[in-house]
Amino acid sequence: MQQRIMINIMRRFIGGRFAGSTRLMSTSSRALGWWDHVKPAPKDPIIGVTEAFLADTNPNKINLGVGAYRDDEGKPVVLQCVRYAESKIAGCEYLESNATEVGSKLVEESVKLAYGKHAHLIKDGRVAGIQALSGTSACRLFAELQRRFYPESPIYLPDFTWSNHHNIWRDAHVPERSFRYYHPISKGLNFAALMDDVKNAPDGSFFLLHPCAHNPTGVDPTEEQWREISNKFKVKNHFPFFDMAYQGFASGDLDTDALPIRIFLEDGHLIGCAQSFAKNMVLHGHRVGCLSVLCDDVKQAVAVKSQLQQIARAIYSNPPVHGILLVSTILSDPQTKVLWSKEVKVMANRIKQMRITLCETLEEMGGPLSWEHITNQVGMFCLSGLTPDEIDRLVREFHVYITPDGRMSMAGVNTSNVNYLANAIHEVTTYEREAGTMISGSSL
């Protein structure tokens, strides 16, 4: 009996080996083609600019693509408040048991920074907050939350907006709509069109808003306009989702830049808010951010937070703790927070001065265009209004790199390169616009 069993086992084993080898050969030949149908993804417009800049060997090259702060020597900076926070947390042992405490501290301090006097809402238990991997992750978490519970509802994005917003909501399978925002002729806010689109959107729609230092246009509504927007949202029962990546860079004051959020809170809105500390603390590599969602009551907030935690668990589980400790220390220590606010003002003021210098230099050179929009716009970015041909010439002839939509990161402008930049812009715009005028005139 045992012998017969062993014979059957051997037969299955031998047969299995031959059959397995045949399947293996078939699988191996097929495996060679598993990814043949995959094509390269389109280059991210911002990352693509940086790659081209790095490959350029010209000594006069200028990178105005990435929204990362640089000092007047064109170098990255480490803020003094960050150095101080580093010294305070040096030697701190991170234990899994205090992960919740660390994350909660970041959320609490971030909400205080954004909500101001309305921060009591977190103590009331009405804020569902979670630490995130900078602003990108905070947006993605909210997009996933929207898809789960409002799968048919689109997100309304301003035209223009940060290019990655489209990627984030698309990959979360949320339908996308746009609302008019930027006026290409005035290079300012198209407020009447914005209000029309808010009015005409279906009741209860989701809108993404930039509370300050709009990326990429540098165009922000006035306080009075924000109040009108908030009122119209109230009438239409729209949900405002704020993406605040540049708090402090518009006015130089952290509270002033958070005013739009506080106006909506005063008017009784429930809101969502993504915050990033990559820019205003110059902590790009640490990826520290926060997502907060204001709810009607404690029960609702507990449920929403549990959903956000579940979404985050499937994407990245827990964020790195070191950056969270840095940001929490800066925000919770009064002395360090004051130092940080002063350093933010210094960064904002340097960018403002570069706007003034660039505008004045271009105006002195003459030419067919007005450049007042450079100083009218605020924050880290200026939407230049340059045409694709002019942008192409900037790169080919002058080695000046900006994104294809004409966005310039003013943080990359400094006293050493501003005259070169102004001359390059003058050359490409004067030639292109005058040539176009002559062609139009000759055809009449």
- Is residue 304 within 8 A of residue 285, CB to CB? The reply is no
CA atoms within 13 A on the CB side of 139: 25
- Is residue 16 within 8 A of residue 24, CB to CB? The reply is no
**Active-site position among 105, 162, 187, 337:** 162
Within 10 angstroms of residue 330's Cβ, the number of other Cβ atoms is: 23
Q: How far apart are CA 191 and CA 181, in angstroms?
A: 7
**Active-site position among 105, 169, 220, 279:** 279
Residue 243 annotated as catalytic = yes
**Active-site position among 197, 220, 243, 257:** 243
- Quick one: which of 99, 105, 66, 119 has its CA closest to 313? 99
Q: How far apart are CA 104 and CA 57, in angstroms?
A: 47
Nearest 5°: phi and psi at 337? -65, -40
Q: At 326, which amino acid appears?
A: L
Nearest 5°: phi and psi at 126? -95, 0
Dihedral over alpha carbons 364, 369, 374, 377 (to 10 degrees): 150
Residue 253 annotated as catalytic = no
Residue 236 annotated as catalytic = no
Which pair of tokens denotes residue 9? Answer: 């086992």
Nearest 5°: phi and psi at 155? -105, 130
Catalytic positions: 162, 243, 279
